[in-house]
Structure 1
Amino acid sequence: MKKNTAWSKAYLIFMFVVLYAPIFYLMFYSFNSGGTMNDFESFTLDWYKELFQDTRLLIIVLNTIIIALLSAAISTVIGVLGAIAIVSMKKRIVQNTLLSFNNVLIVSPDVIIGASFLILFTMLGIKLGFMSVLLSHIAFSIPIVVIMVLPKLQGMSTSLIDAARDLGASQWDVFSKVILPYISPGVFAGFFLALTYSLDDFAVTFFVTGNGFSTLSVEIYSLARRGISLNINALSTLLFLLTVILVLGYYFITQRNNRSTGWGARK
């Protein structure tokens, strides 16, 4: 048993090294004054200063954040309503069918999804740009929210809803004061996942981005094709730190909700 545990720990450490070593290597050389990723000469913040002096890049960062926040918020609302609709279906076969359609969008290759959106927007005459990217991000984020919210709804006892209705609660009161507080951890999880997916999505965004509009993932790809530049390292470092902050934020919110739920149960 101890031998298996040792092998498990070694494998886990190996996987973390494989996953994080390239990221930390990239971050380390974002402070290199030499301008290359071969020899570290001295510590500098020049690449970050140059990054923040690039007005075009700052606009792209703003575009990316706006797209991520809007798509996450809208997809969370639609995803919660969709999850409630799936659970409310009385026939099991209908639930499974709707859930299968939802899961297909999650496992489908991003290239196919991006190409499909490109064809759809072209047929509808929608100009590629802010709106096409926003609609695409909302579409691929909704299934993620549904998957995160659905287990909470399925684990919720119907007696809570019945008791609220017996006490005279309206349909809105049942939703806002019973269902929503109960599924809030799943809602927060869906929102943060949708936000993260939107921030780092490349494949779908690459297909539906038009001239004059870009996001960070597409911009980094464009910069990387021109050759090695430590601006990319600095930008990627900031993106990674932003993702870490989002994950930590979600973790602390989840822990706070768990403590509140546990305190309410003990009380």
Structure 2
Amino acid sequence: MIARRKLSNLYLVAVFAVLYAPIFYLLFYSFNSGGSMRNFESFTLDWYKEVFTDTRLLIIVLNTFVIALLSSVISTILGIAGALAIHYIRKHQPKNTLLALNNVLIVSPDVIIGASFLILFTIIGIKLGFTSVLLSHIAFSVPIVVIMVLPKLQEMSPTLIDAARDLGASSWNVLTKVIMPYIKPGVFAGFFMALTYSLDDFAVTFFVTGNGFSTLSVEIYSRARQGISLSINALSTLIFLFTIVLVIGYYFVNQRNSRSTNVGEGRR
């Protein structure tokens, strides 16, 4: 038993080493005063200064965060509505069909989704740029929110809603004062997942961006193709650190919600 546990721990260490070693390699050379990723000459912050003095890059960063926040908020609202609609369908066949269609969008290759959106926007006459990127990010984020919210709806006892209705609560009160507080952890999880996917997406965005509009993932790819520049390392390091902050923030929000739920159950 002890040998198995040691072997599993060793396996986990190996997996994390493979996953994180390239990231830390990139992070380490973002402080290199030399222009390559082979010989570390001396410590410098010049590459970070270059990132913060690049006006075009700062505009792209702003575009990326605006797209991510807008798409996350809108997809969270739509995802909650979709999860509620799926949950309250009584017939199994339509419910399973909708769930299957929702899951297909999650597992579909990004290249197929991006090409499909490109064809769609070309046919209906939407110019490639901010609008096309926003609509695409909303579309692939909604199924993620649905998947996050549905389990919380399924956990909720129907007696809570029945009790609220018996006490004279309207449909809006039931939604805002009973259902939403209960599924709040799933809503936060869906929002943060949608935000992460939007910030991270490259394949779909690459197909639907245009008219001088770009996001960080596309910009990093374009710069990497032009040759090695340690400003890419600095930019990637900043994105990685921001992602860590998001994960830590989600963890603390989730912990607070869990404590609030436990306190509420203890009072009952």
Classify the TM-score, shorter chain. Answer: over 0.9
Q: Which amino acid aligns with 2:131?
A: M
Cα distance in 1 for partners of 2:7, 2:49 equals 45
Q: State the 1:35 CA deviation.
A: 1.4
Tell whether 2:182 aligns with 1:160.
no
Q: State the 1:183 CA deviation.
A: 0.1
Q: State the 1:169 CA deviation.
A: 0.2
Task: State the Cα deviation string for residues 42-83 of structure 1 (Å, max 9, x = none).
Answer: 100000001100000000000000000000000000000100
Equivalent residue number for residue 7 of structure 1: 7
Tell whether 2:233 aligns with 1:233.
yes
Q: Secondary structure at the match of 2:264?
A: helix
Q: Which amino acid aligns with 2:7?
A: W
Q: Which amino acid aligns with 2:265?
A: A
Q: Secondary structure at the match of 1:198?
A: helix
Q: How does 1:38-77 map to 2 (within 5 A)?
A: 38-77=38-77
Equivalent residue number for residue 264 of structure 1: 264
Q: State the 1:185 CA deviation.
A: 0.1
Cα distance in 1 for partners of 2:242, 2:211 equals 27
Equivalent residue number for residue 170 of structure 1: 170
Cα distance in 2 for partners of 1:116, 1:34 equals 43
Q: Secondary structure at the match of 1:169?
A: coil
Q: How does 1:1-267 map to 2 (within 5 A)?
A: 1-267=1-267
Q: State the 1:211 CA deviation.
A: 2.7
Task: State the Cα deviation string for residues 120-170 of structure 1 (Å, max 9, x = none).
Answer: 000000000000000000000000000000000011100000000000000
Task: State the Cα deviation string for residues 11-50 of structure 1 (Å, max 9, x = none).
Answer: 0000000000000000000000011100101100000001
Q: Secondary structure at the match of 2:239?
A: helix
Cα distance in 2 for partners of 1:112, 1:264 equals 46
Q: State the 1:92 CA deviation.
A: 1.2
Count residues with an aligned counterpart.
Answer: 267
Cα distance in 1 for partners of 2:50, 2:150 equals 45
Cα distance in 1 for partners of 2:22, 2:146 equals 33
Cα distance in 2 for partners of 1:263, 1:90 equals 33
Task: State the Cα deviation string for residues 156-210 of structure 1 (Å, max 9, x = none).
Answer: 1000000000000000000000000000000000000000000010000000001
Q: Which amino acid aligns with 1:167?
A: L
TM-score (norm: length of structure 1): 1.00
Q: State the 1:94 CA deviation.
A: 1.3
Q: Secondary structure at the match of 2:40?
A: coil
Q: Secondary structure at the match of 2:185?
A: helix
Gaps in structure 2 of 5+ consecutive residues: none
Q: Which amino acid aligns with 2:218?
A: V
Cα distance in 2 for partners of 1:196, 1:245 equals 11
Give the aligned CA root-mean-square deviation in angstroms.
Answer: 0.4
Q: State the 1:7 CA deviation.
A: 0.8
Gaps in structure 1 of 5+ consecutive residues: none
Q: Which amino acid aligns with 1:99?
A: L
Q: Secondary structure at the match of 1:150?
A: helix
Cα distance in 1 for partners of 2:93, 2:2 equals 46
Q: Which amino acid aligns with 2:89?
A: M
Cα distance in 1 for partners of 2:86, 2:105 equals 16
